[in-house]
Amino acid sequence: MRDHYQLIIIGAGPAGLAAAVTATNHGISCALLDEQASPGGQIYRAIESAPATRAQVLGSEYQQGKTLAEEFRACSVEYFPECKVWSLNSEREVGVLYKDQSKIISADQVLVASGAIERPVPFPGWTLPGVMQAGAGQILFKSAGVIPSDGVVLAGSGPLLLLLAWQYMQVGVEIKAMLDVTPHSNFLSALTKFPRALLAHHYLTKGLIYQRDLKRAGIVSKMAVSNLKAEGNGELQSISYRHLGREHSIETGLLMTHFGVIPDIWLTQAAGCQHRRDSSQQCWRPQHNEWGNTSIDGILIAGDGAGINGVRSAEYAGRLAVLQALFSLGVISQAERNQQSINPRKQMRKERHIRPFLEAYFAIPQNMLATTDKSTIICRCEEITAGEIRAAVDNAHGDSNQVKYLSRCGMGPCQGRQCANAVAHIVADAGGEAISDSSLFRGRPPVAPLTLAQLASLSAENAS
Amino acid sequence: MFKQLQNNDLGNLEVTLDGCKILVPQGTSVAAVVLAQGLRSTRTTPISNSPRAPFCMMGVCYDCLMIIDGKANQHSCATYVKQGMHVETQQGVGPALGDAR
Amino acid sequence: MNTDILIIGAGLIGTSTALQLAMRGCRCIVIDKASPGRHASGSNAGGLRQLNRDLAEIPLSVAAAKMWHNIENLVDSDCDARFPGQIRVAENQSDMHKLEQRAAMVRSMGYQHEEMIGRKELFQIVPALAPHCIGALICREDGYARPYHALTAFRQKAESLGASFHSDCEVYNITQEGDGWSVRTSQGTYNSSIVVNCAGAWAGELAAQMQEPVPLTPKALMLMVTERLPHFVDPVMGAESRKLSFKQMQNGTLIIGGALVAKLDFEQERTDIDWQQLAASAKTVLDFFPQLQDVRIVRAWAGIEGFMPDNIPVISASHKANNAYHAFGFSAHGLQLSPVIGLIMAQLILDGLSELPIEPFSISRFNH
Ligand SMILES: Cc1cc2nc3c(=O)[nH]c(=O)nc-3n(C[C@H](O)[C@H](O)[C@H](O)COP(=O)(O)OP(=O)(O)OC[C@H]3O[C@@H](n4cnc5c(N)ncnc54)[C@H](O)[C@@H]3O)c2cc1C
Ligand SMILES: Cc1cc2nc3c(=O)[nH]c(=O)nc-3n(C[C@H](O)[C@H](O)[C@H](O)COP(=O)(O)OP(=O)(O)OC[C@H]3O[C@@H](n4cnc5c(N)ncnc54)[C@H](O)[C@@H]3O)c2cc1C
Ligand code: FES
């Protein structure tokens, strides 16, 4: 690994891979850093190693990653897998942990393609063993061929839940129930976005096919489910919920939930990029322009890390951002940049027709984002409840960061990844204020924990 | 709760899980292995000693911490199995730190 | 808005001053451009240290320590204060010699709180320490508190006695009007008989507006904290000839610091962690506690603090104007002093003089 590159790409998902492929053959020094062992990011996880039968079950969308991964392997970009980026600053200095050595390298242009994480939505019992995120179930399946053996309850909202149900169905996993928390009112608000969504009707068709297949297999979602609870002594034993005005419960050792995905903004936050609250996507995301430029010169963002737009969009955004980086580096002219961007931009626009509809339809109900159930754990690491957070709001002057100082909420090893959103919503709700750009915790580096020895190796390296 | 599909052309490795030797497919994360082995929880919390298990499988939640080759607080979902690896469930903050060597 | 006493800055110093004034029945308002504890007072390392203080600070620090030991009487909360002692380790004979001289000097001033311990006792107190250490200076009554909790307790007590706190209220401009002051802020103008400048790293600008410029330098100090660990060390650790400041909190986390300075954009109030310095600090920690090598840092941050050239604060009535007072520039060790500073300021304001020796902290000391 060199000390300096003209371009560093962080993340080997569709955005980062497409970016790398676009950057190749321009004679620039370029590195792609990713924490996973192989290229693919979240959607194409283990794309190179998954056996053909498994890839088939995972669906056509997944298999498309194969070509991209092959193109990437053939390109000249230096690839560093199992390389964790633990810091990024406004000077475009990138702290990396590679082969147990920490190092700070720099670049003229940094493209952050960090992707998304699943939106953590706390509910009673969500910390019990046996409760996991649907994405976790999918990762187990994609990368290890590990699937539920005694059935599973799927709950939450969003396309990924449907996709997972369909994938599980193919391999004979018993789906005990599909509980959809999408309230009926979402249907109305989504209706106005429907005409535009028709312009990307292949997505709608795919959703309908999944639903049809599931229905044939006898799996039907219960709609507008509320009061989801996971119960059990030391591990999940049953779940309960409310549907059509009645309480129900199901015995299960496994519950997988999904509440949509949100951008992974830890790197852009660390760098000091400006972030905005996006009320439609119910998340915070780095401010950026049509080329992916953030508020900091030379730091670009592409893919779901910039705002959730899905896999195809991520690829196009990756290409556009690299064109911009190449232009900034003086490698291509403005005319070349513009010319080469026409097609990806057009495609990207087409892809995005579906988003407003999906965002409105799958919007998470406010009472789940800002739970009023005082005993629900919000901070999984420090085991801080919603009640404790609400109690701290006054003394913390309605500021999430000061709620953190008082309660230790967000001070555990996950650095607030699992609680930041919920805390922001609860603090705003308790203080009677609207959620805002600054409701999130301030980022605290390092982006990933480093051991003292790993950190010390930075200084040893510099001395030599 | 979980099972592993039979389709790995990859070889098997021997690892020790809480004192028992097991054969596991190469290229798998420790978390996937322990779940497939039927382990329900991988650690207990330092505060209330409640059991926890992998939740996100992508390095975000820190609930999959285990003691791997003697080192506490290792991300089992982001650690790949290796021949001869020792994996243990972690209780709270983990074992005492010992004296200066 | 009219008030008798306007305190600018709701850090520990302003808040403690408000508390003592309120205890003596005075009406005061504390204003802050952010909110109480947003800056140094909420982000510091929590150390309560009399050990190795500047000689001028010793009387104040000793008085403050007494207050910390009874802090619940003062603010109805123990502020999570604990007193496992603070230690300054000697790694060689030259360190040992310097520390012995220091101990003798403090004793000669009539104070007993700092004492030397040899290798045997050092390892009884800190068995986990690397074997090359040979002795230490110790202050057994020292310890630490949780800063934001302390600040909140001070504020709540002051409020219960009638003090008011106004957040998001930034001072733009201070002008003298007759014997009193007119203070223009982002939330309108405050007229007050008396102003107290407790604006931390920003106090230099305010002092300049009050025609008393001071050589204050804002700096951002860094700290890092680890995941929770099994208990392994009681006292707060420092070292004679190395940048080490290190403690294990009740919850098991380690807080590591020691004069590590971050990059600071003071205008934007933006700090950038300097990893090279933290790396050097990590190395130092491992030299003393090699068994920590696999312990993970989960967070690092920097807090903005005001430093004076002589590293001791300004605690003073104005030398230029009536009815103006200053307490700032605590140069990275103001938490420990804060209870007594409030007391001193209340005495200065209400009695015209303080019982404790504060001449070394005069604002005019930089004039020559
Ligand atoms: C668990 C999960 C499953 C998903 N499954 C699907 C699916 O099946 N179908 C679908 O259409 N969409 C899925 N999505 C949505 C997904 O976000 C996008 O479709 C797509 O993966 C976005 O591509 P990307 O390149 O922006 O980011 P990603 O694919 O998320 O890639 C980002 C990469 O950056 C790496 N990274 C992030 N931070 C760092 C760091 N600090 N250091 C080093 N590396 C880092 C990540 O490990 C990852 O490899 C899923 C999302 C999640 C979270
Ligand atoms: C990282 C770090 C570690 C430390 N560790 C220790 C330790 O272990 N032990 C110890 O004793 N001390 C320690 N200190 C020092 C201690 O925190 C400070 O000395 C103490 O908090 C100073 O309090 P203050 O009230 O003067 O300043 P602050 O807490 O900074 O308060 C000043 C306030 O004034 C406000 N203000 C500024 N300008 C204006 C304006 N124009 N209008 C309105 N309001 C304004 C600010 O918003 C701020 O809230 C440390 C400091 C730092 C940064
Ligand atoms: S399972 Fe979430 S970090 Fe490993």
pLDDT in tens, B70-100: 999 999 999 999 999 999 999 999 999 887 7
Residues C201-244: pLDDT tens digits?
Answer: 999 999 999 999 999 999 999 999 999 999 999 999 999 999 99
A133 neighbourhood in chain B, CB within 8 Å: 55-57
Q: Which residues line ligand 2 (CB under 6 A)?
A: C 8-14, 31-34, 38-41, 43-47, 170-171, 198-202, 221, 223, 257, 303, 305, 328, 330, 332-336
Asked if the Cβ–Cβ distance from C291 to B99 is below 8 Å, we say yes
Mutate to test the interface with A, among B62, B79, B81, B90 (most CBs of A within 10 A): B62
Residue B43 lies in a domain: yes
C292 neighbourhood in chain B, CB within 8 Å: 97
How close does chain C come to A411, measured CA to CA in Å?
8
Q: Using CB atoms, which residue from C228, C289, C290 is nearest to B93?
A: C228
Residues C190, C178: contact at Cβ < 8 Å?
no
Q: C2-67+147-213+310-366 in CATH: which number?
A: 3.50.50.60
Q: Which residues line ligand 1 (CB under 6 A)?
A: A 10-16, 33-36, 41-43, 61, 84-85, 113-118, 135, 138-139, 160, 163, 261, 264, 267, 303-305, 310-311, 314, 447; B 58
Residue B8 lies in a domain: no
pLDDT grade for B9, boundaries at 50, 70 and 90: low
- In a mutational test of the pocket of ligand 1, which residue from A9, A10, A22, A42 has the highest number of ligand atoms less than 8 Å from its CB? A42
Distance CA C16, CA C19 (A): 5
Look at residue C146 and tell me whether its pLDDT is greater than 60: yes
Percent residues over pLDDT 90 in chain B:
82
pLDDT grade for B7, boundaries at 50, 70 and 90: low
Q: What is the CATH number of the domain that holds B80?
A: 3.10.20.30
Domain with CATH 3.30.9.10 in chain C: 84-142+218-307
Residue B99 lies in a domain: no
**pLDDT for the residue numbered A464:** 41
B101 neighbourhood in chain C, CB within 8 Å: 290-291
Distance CA B44, CA A383 (A): 12
Distance CA B54, CA C105 (A): 58
Strand partners, A441: none
Distance CA B25, CA A144 (A): 9
Residues C327, C314: contact at Cβ < 8 Å?
yes
pLDDT grade for A19, boundaries at 50, 70 and 90: very high
Strand A384-385, strand A131-133: pairing: unpaired
Reading the block at residue C266, the tokens are: 């003071």
Residues A111, A16: contact at Cβ < 8 Å?
yes
What is the predicted ipTM? 0.96
How close does chain A come to B23, measured CA to CA in Å?
14
Over residues A286-292, the mean pLDDT reads: 98
Domain with CATH 3.50.50.60 in chain C: 2-67+147-213+310-366
3-state secondary structure of C129: coil
Q: A4-117+262-332 in CATH: which number?
A: 3.50.50.60
Q: How many domains in chain B? A: 1
Q: What are phi and psi of C196, to 5 degrees?
A: -125, 125
B48 neighbourhood in chain A, CB within 8 Å: 383
Sign of CA dihedral A239, A242, A244, A246: positive
Distance CA A24, CA A75 (A): 6
Residue B95 lies in a domain: no
Residue of A nearest to B92 (CA): A381
Peptide bond connecting A446 to the previous residue in cis, omega within 30 degrees of 0: yes
**Residue position matching structure tokens 């502020």:** C79
Amino acid at position B71, single letter:
K
Reading the block at residue A264, the tokens are: 């992974």
A120 neighbourhood in chain B, CB within 8 Å: 61
Look at residue A432 and tell me whether its pLDDT is greater than 50: yes
Atom nearest to C13 CA in ligand 2: 25
How close does chain B come to C287, measured CA to CA in Å?
9
* Cα–ligand 2 centroid distance for A117 (angstroms): 36
CA distances from A428 to A162, A281, A284, A287 (A): 31, 17, 15, 22
User: What's the alpha-carbon Rg for chain A, to the nearest Å?
Assistant: 22
Reading the block at residue C143, the tokens are: 């310890």
Look at residue A235 and tell me whether its pLDDT is greater than 60: yes
In sequence order, the 6+-apart residues with CB closer than 8 A to the CB of A7 are: A23, A28, A29, A30, A31, A107, A108, A109, A110, A111, A322, A325, A329
In this structure, CATH architecture of domain A120-255: 3-Layer(bba) Sandwich (3.50)
Residue of A nearest to B38 (CA): A149
Question: CATH number of C84-142+218-307: 3.30.9.10, 3.40.605.10, 3.90.550.10, 3.40.50.1820?
Answer: 3.30.9.10
Residues of C with CB under 8 A from a CB of A: 35-38, 42, 148-149, 152, 156, 167, 225-228, 251, 270, 272-273, 275-276, 278-280, 282-283, 285-286, 292-301
Mean pLDDT of chain B: 92
Distance CA A265, CA A283 (A): 10
Residues C349, C226: contact at Cβ < 8 Å?
no
Atom nearest to C14 CA in ligand 2: 25
Q: Using CB atoms, which residue from C156, C225, C294 is nearest to A453?
A: C294
Strand C164-166, strand C28-31: pairing: parallel
pLDDT grade for C367, boundaries at 50, 70 and 90: confident
How close does chain B come to A135, measured CA to CA in Å?
7
DSSP codes, A166-215: HHHHHTT--EEEEEE---HHHHHHHHTTHHHHGGGHHHHHHHHHHHHHHH
**pLDDT for the residue numbered B10:** 66
B93 neighbourhood in chain C, CB within 8 Å: 227-230, 252
Residues A225, A180: contact at Cβ < 8 Å?
yes
A136 touches chain B (CB under 8 A): yes
CATH H-level superfamily of A370-431: BFD-like [2Fe-2S]-binding domain (1.10.10.1100)
Q: Which of residues 39-98 of B touch A (CB under 8 A)?
A: 40-41, 45, 47-48, 50-63, 65, 73, 77-78, 80
Distance CA C7, CA C254 (A): 34
How close does chain A come to C225, measured CA to CA in Å?
9
Closest Cα to atom 37 of ligand 2? C199
How close does chain B come to A195, measured CA to CA in Å?
35
Look at residue A462 and tell me whether its pLDDT is greater than 60: no
Domain with CATH 3.50.50.60 in chain A: 4-117+262-332, 120-255
Look at residue A463 and tell me whether its pLDDT is greater than 90: no
Residue B35 lies in a domain: yes
Domain with CATH 1.10.10.1100 in chain A: 370-431
B33 neighbourhood in chain A, CB within 8 Å: 144
Residues C259-280: pLDDT tens digits?
Answer: 899 999 999 999 999 999 999 9
Reported in sequence order, the residue ranges of C51-100 that DSSP labels E, i.e. its strands, are 86-90
Mean pLDDT of chain C: 96
Q: What are phi and psi of B12, to 5 degrees?
A: -100, 150
Asked if the Cβ–Cβ distance from B73 to C227 is below 8 Å, we say yes
Query: Helices marked H in A370-441 — which ranges?
Result: 386-392, 400-407, 420-431
Mutate to test the interface with B, among C124, C132, C229 (most CBs of B within 10 A): C229
CB pairs under 8 A between A and C: 99
**Whole-prediction pTM:** 0.95
**pLDDT for the residue numbered B26:** 87
